[in-house]
A = this chain, B = another copy of it.
Amino acid sequence: MGSVTLGELAQHLGTELNDAGQRVTDLPITGLATLATATSGQLSFLSNPKYIKQLAKSDASAFIVHPDMLELVDKPCLVTRKPYVAYAHASQLFASMEAQESGADHDGSGIDASARVSPQAVIGERVVIGPGAVIDAAVVIGDGTRIGANVSIGRGSRLGSDCVIHANVSIYQRVHIGSRVILHSSVVIGADGFGFAFDGERSVKIAQLGSVRLGDDVEVGAGSTIDRGALDDTVIGNGVKIDNQVQIGHNCTVGDHTVICGCTALAGSTHIGRYCLIGGGVGITGHLTIADKVSIGAMSMVSRSVDKPGVYASGAILQESSQWRRNAVAQTKLADLSKALRTIEKQLGKRQL
């Protein structure tokens, strides 16, 4: 990888440069690494105080730190009140340097000869379409968007500008996707919602006539699926970040800037507020409303609406198997236990009289 100077980094990240008394503006920085693994020439960062001890031992040549930590370091520092955010911006810079150097931004430019692009599709400028990708009629793709290998985009779908759609993504018909959206491999957007009417003998399919709308700056992790609505649309707000293998049922809405961790599932017609943080492996049943700024712990089952911000959970604590079995069996008799206790309380109360 090439390098950038510490001064350029300070400017790019909008941080102060504390040179520890040395002339370091021109110090070349070749990469980004953790405190423990950084080598000379690399930049590291301290955002979590529990790693303070690693700071002194680190071989990094410079650090991103909070002003309060400055006195602990005798090497050059990029100083900011939000070191983790500065690290995020630095990571993007190094990623783009790596991409440029490897040529990944150059090859595959334009539309690969093996892509099948409908003549009725409208393709913006600087769009890259990878080998084997299939773009159906009436699809619109905004400027600078990159479509990976063997992606399929159905009739009438629209993507904004500067999106990155990774290999083997499937987008069904009439899906609307904002700008700067990232979809990882095996993501499926707009498959039919799970709707059937049981006629007494069999399940009659309810055709899913709605679609899916994703806002700007949405990221969806590998293998996640977002179903199209039955009549209205499924809607994902701006800045929403969805991890891998998340399932979002038809007609759900997810508010702006909410974060959903891996393997979480939303059943149909559930509405999640803005700035929520939904842990991994959570299940949220259908037709619920979750307020803004709600945090839900990993592996919780949410079967009721949550109408005020706060932290919620329902998972169970890991136990050794023999102990767990005794407690799990007791759990199946808990209501009776509770009743027995109340009876005793009454008995004792009477005696006390």
Cα(A273)–Cα(B159), bound, Å: 43
Q: Scan residues 73-124 of chain A and give those whose CB is less than 8 A from a CB of chain B.
A: 82, 84-85, 87-89, 91-92, 94-95, 98, 102-104, 107, 112, 114, 116
Q: Decide yes or no whether A347 CB sits under 8 A from chain B.
A: yes
Q: Would you call B318 and A327 a contact (CB within 8 A)?
A: no
Q: Would you call B335 and A316 a contact (CB within 8 A)?
A: no
Q: Contacts A103-B137, A116-B131, A310-B321 given: A303-B332 contact, CB under 8 Å?
A: no
Q: Would you call B313 and A331 a contact (CB within 8 A)?
A: no
Other-chain contact of A283, B150, B184, B205, B280 (Cβ < 8 Å): B280
Q: Would you call A318 and B296 a contact (CB within 8 A)?
A: yes
Q: Decide yes or no whether A243 CB sits under 8 A from chain B.
A: yes
Q: Decide yes or no whether A340 CB sits under 8 A from chain B.
A: yes
Cα(A170)–Cα(B167), bound, Å: 6
Q: Contacts A85-B197, A222-B225 given: A337-B332 contact, CB under 8 Å?
A: no
Q: Decide yes or no whether A263 CB sits under 8 A from chain B.
A: yes
Q: Would you call B311 and A317 a contact (CB within 8 A)?
A: no
Cα(A340)–Cα(B191), bound, Å: 52
Q: Decide yes or no whether A315 CB sits under 8 A from chain B.
A: yes
Cα(A288)–Cα(B84), bound, Å: 21
Which stretch from A4-12, A15-23, A32-40, A139-147 is at the chain B interface? Answer: A32-40
Cα(A195)–Cα(B244), bound, Å: 12
Q: Decide yes or no whether A67 CB sits under 8 A from chain B.
A: no
Q: Decide yes or no whether A328 CB sits under 8 A from chain B.
A: yes
Q: Decide yes or no whether A227 CB sits under 8 A from chain B.
A: yes
Give this chain's copy count. Answer: 3
Q: Would you call B95 and A207 a contact (CB within 8 A)?
A: yes
Q: Decide yes or no whether A272 CB sits under 8 A from chain B.
A: no
Q: Would you call A331 and B316 a contact (CB within 8 A)?
A: yes
Q: Decide yes or no whether A330 CB sits under 8 A from chain B.
A: yes
Q: Would you call B344 and A348 a contact (CB within 8 A)?
A: yes
Q: Contacts A206-B91, A298-B303, A341-B337 given: A265-B241 contact, CB under 8 Å?
A: no
Cα(A319)–Cα(B102), bound, Å: 50
Other-chain contact of A267, B208, B261, B328, B341 (Cβ < 8 Å): B261
Q: Could you give, for residues 248-266 of chain A, a 1 whenever the CB lies within 8 Å of some chain B CB and a 0 otherwise? A: 0100000001010111010
Q: Decide yes or no whether A72 CB sits under 8 A from chain B.
A: no
Q: Decide yes or no whether A127 CB sits under 8 A from chain B.
A: no
Q: Would you call A130 and B137 a contact (CB within 8 A)?
A: no
Which residues on B sit within 8 Å (CB–CB) of A134?
Answer: 130-132, 149-150, 167
Q: Decide yes or no whether A162 CB sits under 8 A from chain B.
A: no
Q: List 18 A-B contacts (CB under 8 A).
A: A33-B232, A37-B232, A85-B204, A91-B206, A102-B155, A104-B155, A134-B149, A168-B188, A191-B222, A191-B244, A194-B244, A227-B244, A300-B316, A300-B318, A303-B315, A314-B319, A314-B324, A326-B334
